[in-house]
Structure 1
Amino acid sequence: MSTFSKLGVPIKTSVSANVLEEAMSGTVTVRPLPIGASVNGKVDKQCAHFFGVTISEQQAESGVVVRVTSTAQSKFKLLYFEQDSSGGYGLALQEESEKTGKVTSAGMYFLHFQVYRMDSTVNALAAAKDPESAFFKRLEGLQPCEVSELKAGTHIFAVYGDNFFKTASYTIEALCAKTYEDTTEKLKEIEAQILRKRNELRQFETEYRKALARFQEVTNRYTQEKQTVDELLKQRDTIHSSFSVVKTQSGNNLSNGSSSKAQGEESKGDGDSAGEEGGSESKDRSKRKWFNLNIKGSDKKLG
């Protein structure tokens, strides 16, 4: 099986029937791949290049690694075949190429301890359904490799082209773990650490989900409490503003009425003053008239 991307989700594809039939019939061309050597090549889509790796007893005991890389980031599969009694080759193992840094790569590690392959489709499908859970499912794609050691003899590997529109460029190499003892030990340790971390993540996911639910609960309460406080303060401001004599219509009428009354009284007072002044003038005129009459009467008597 291989994978191609559709909407970001890898979908598995199969090795072509023609390649499997040719391998079963034993009619494929097998090129030698010595331990410690590498071979560069280009393989057409849905075709395979076969290689024979011959290992000694000592190399088998030390462990063997077969890896394929592509600096062009081509898609391919690394296949391992077992020879049957009729001379044909049956597919036993396959590894999908994965992007690792600036290259794509696939490898098989026969090191006498359990190693794991990463099935990226598990994490990709989880991410498509729930992006948040992708982290917790990231290590769930670890799958144990079925074969952990090889016996002395010649073993058949193949590079299968998985590009859809062009040939796949690759470099294949076979290595003896004897010259990579430190690296082999580091791989053994890191595999154990990853397995422990996978178990820890399973437990942590449960804790995280509970904490997340609690967080959402208190976040909702925060929103409600904020709205309540805002409303209480608003009501308080409204009550404060009620303590005023100028804010109502009746208060305005009262103020206007008082002014009118004062103005009316003032006008009335002005009228009274005018009347008093008019009365004084009438009295003066009467006195002058009476005085004139007396003067005229006196003149007549004198004459």
Structure 2
Amino acid sequence: MPGHRSKSSEKHADGGGAKPLRRDPYEVLGVSRNSTDQEIKTAYRKMALKYHPDKNANDPKAADMFKEVTFSYNILSDPDKRRQFDTAGFEAVESDNQELELDLSSLGAVNTMFAALFSKLGVPIKTTVSATVLEEALNGVVTIRPLPLGQFISRRVEKQCAHFYSVTITEEEAQAGFVCRVHSSDKSKFKLLYFDQEENGGLSLALQEDCAKTGKVTSAGMFFLGFPVYRLDQTMNSISAAKDPDTSFFRKLEGFQPCELTELKAGTHVFAVYGDNFFKSANYTIEALCAAPFSEEKENLRNIEAQILSKRAEISKFETEYREVLAQFTEMTSRYANEMQEIDELLKQRNEIHAAYTVAPLKRSSSKSRNKSSSNEAKEEGQTKEKRNTRERPKKKRWYNIHLRVDKRKAC
């Protein structure tokens, strides 16, 4: 089918820019414009596995094709971006800022260290499941352990490896709802995976959920409750949003999207825990539960997610009002600063005019002359006080001026 070309792409094709011409994402994935999300996802996984760097280590064309396939899927897997692309092409989806998913097993040691550093600094880096794991699952050569309902299993999975589990549910349990949860008290990074069973006995990846920090643990869960359950992709637009706190707030709920599957049929289902750490293994605990005893939790979840959807619509409208008021506030604060500066300048000029009303200029004596005059005055004042005290002081008799009387009538 003919490729969808935007205006910017036509300019680049005419030699007006350095960017290469991008192909229509529908054409890249080999799907039609009315394809379902599941059809797009299936096409992407087949092509990603075909052109994965693990299988084409010395083929640069395959590496470019893998990037193009991933780039196209990032557009078509997001309902908003897909709608924007269908309306206005690549320009509408901000193609320069698209994030690619990284396969850690295909990175060298140096690149892995840089990726780990960025992750520690809070820069979200999306990772994908290793092609080796996907290929082994597709060929049916993985070891699958049984996971009984209502029980948990704690294990350690190596980086870029996966542990597979099978869960069998009855018709009654399927109607009541089913939940699979994984958590790590060590805050290890992992993915929870769900696989469809192929006719040849192999397994194809159908769903994946990245772990997220919730309190003192990292956790991920899949909820098949018979009604639409939503997942929150916290990395969506997070890099661009980190540049502006306001944008971070208004984009916080953009990644709140419905899960592809809402219920499971009776039978055996396969889940896996994938070690997504950069350098070390991941400790985890997995459990499978029937939702029958959790009727109150099911109703609360339905109500809370309905409120979140309503809040997302309100925030979208509130953003427009907020931006308008913020622009007015910025204008007012700028005017406030200018008005204050002008008032201070006018008062300064007024004081200078007041000071000009004088005939004789003020004589300013130096500090030395002031100190000298003050010391002379103090000296003169001290001498005056001393003279005054001398006049007023009474004369004291000395012992040698004492008059001694002698009686001459008595003999000595």
Aligned to 1:208: 322
Secondary structure of the 1:12 match is: coil
Partner in structure 2 of residue 227 of structure 1: 341
How far apart in 2 are the matches of 1:248 and 1:109? 89
What whole-Å deviation, never above 9, does each CA across 1:127-172 have from its counterpart, x for those lacking one? Answer: 3332331011111111211000000000000000111211100000
Mean alpha-carbon deviation: is it higher for 66-75 or for 200-209?
Answer: 200-209
The amino acid of 1:31's aligned partner reads R
Q: Determine the C-alpha separation between the residues in 2 that align with 1:17 and 1:224.
A: 62
Alignment of 1:14-53 (within 5 A): 14-53=128-167
Q: Does 1:93 align with 2:215?
A: no
State the distance in 2 between where 1:222 and 1:81 align.
62
- Check conservation: 1:2, 1:77, Cα contact below 8 A: no
The Cα shift of 1:222 comes to 0.4
Q: Which residue in 1 is equivalent to 2:310?
A: 196
Instruction: Name which structure has the greater RCO, CA cutoff 8 Å, separation 6+.
Output: 1
- How many angstroms does 1:121 deviate by? 1.3
SS in structure 1 of the partner of residue 299 of structure 2: helix
Matches of 2:243 and 2:359, distance apart in 1: 65
Gaps spanning 5+ residues in structure 1: where? 250-303
- Greater Cα shift, 3-12 or 96-105: 3-12
The one-letter amino acid of 2:193's match is L
Shift, 1:126, TM fit: 2.9
Residues 148-297 of structure 1 mapped to structure 2, 5 A cutoff: 148-247=262-361
CA distance in 2, matches of 1:62, 1:218: 58
Candidates 93, 110, 127, aligned match of 2:241 = 127
- Read off the aligned partner of 1:102 and give its amino acid letter: K
Give 2:230's match in structure 1, choosing from 102, 116, 128.
Answer: 116
Partner Cα distance (2:295, 2:227) in 1: 13
Q: CA deviation at 1:179?
A: 0.6
SS at match of 1:174: strand
Match of 2:179 among 55, 61, 65: 65
Q: Distance in 2 between matches of 1:80 and 1:122?
A: 22
Matches within 5 A, 1:132-143: 132-143=246-257
**Distance (whole Å) between structure 1 residues aligned to residue 354 and residue 243 of structure 2:** 54
Could you tell me the percent identity over the aligned residues?
A: 61
Deviation, 1:248, is: 8.9
Which residue does the alignment assign to 1:297? none
| Displacement after TM superposition at 1:13 (Å) | 1.6
Residue matched to 1:103: 217
Gap runs ≥5 in structure 2: 1-100, 104-114, 364-412
Name the CA distance, whole Å, in 2 between partners of 1:2 and 1:105: 21
Distance in 1 between the 2:160 and 2:345 partners? 70
After superposition, the CA RMSD in angstroms is 1.7
SS in 2 for 1:213: helix
Name the count of aligned residue pairs.
249
Greater mean alpha carbon deviation, residues 240-249 or residues 223-232? 240-249
Which one-letter code corresponds to 2:264 in the other structure? L
Q: Which amino acid aligns with 2:201?
A: G
Mapped to 1, the partners of 2:240 and 2:320 lie a distance apart of 16
Separation of aligned partners in 1, 2:260 and 2:243: 30
SS in 1 for 2:231: strand
Q: Tell me which moved more, 237-246 or 219-228.
A: 237-246
Q: Which amino acid aligns with 1:133?
A: T
Provide closer, same or farther for how the CA distance between residues 199 and 11 of structure 1 changes in structure 2, counting only shifts above 3 A.
Answer: same
Q: Secondary structure at the match of 2:278?
A: coil
Deviation digits for residues 230-273 of structure 1 (CA, Å, limit 9, x no counterpart): 11111211222222221399xxxxxxxxxxxxxxxxxxxxxxxx
> Which residue is 1:299 aligned to?
none
CA contact (8 A) 1:2 1:96 kept: no
Letter in 2 for 1:146: E
Match of 2:153, SS state, is strand
Question: Equivalents in 2 of 1:67, 1:109: separation in Å?
Answer: 8
Change (3 A) 1:176 1:2: farther
Q: Is the 8 A contact 1:65 1:175 kept in 2?
A: yes
What's the offset of the Cα at 1:17? Answer: 1.1
**CA contact under 8 A between 1:45 and 1:161: conserved in structure 2?**
yes
| Equivalent position SS for 1:122 | coil
Mapped to 1, the partners of 2:313 and 2:211 lie a distance apart of 26
Where do 4+ consecutive residues of structure 1 move more than 6 Å?
none
Q: Are the equivalent residues in 2 in contact too, given 1:9–1:121 (CA < 8 A)?
A: no
1:58 counterpart letter in structure 2 = E
The superposition leaves residues 14-43 of structure 1 with CA deviations (integer Å, 9 ceiling, x where unpaired) of 211111111111121111111111110100
Greater share of strand: 1
TM-score of the aligned structures, taking structure 1 as reference length: 0.79
CA contact (8 A) 1:70 1:169 kept: yes
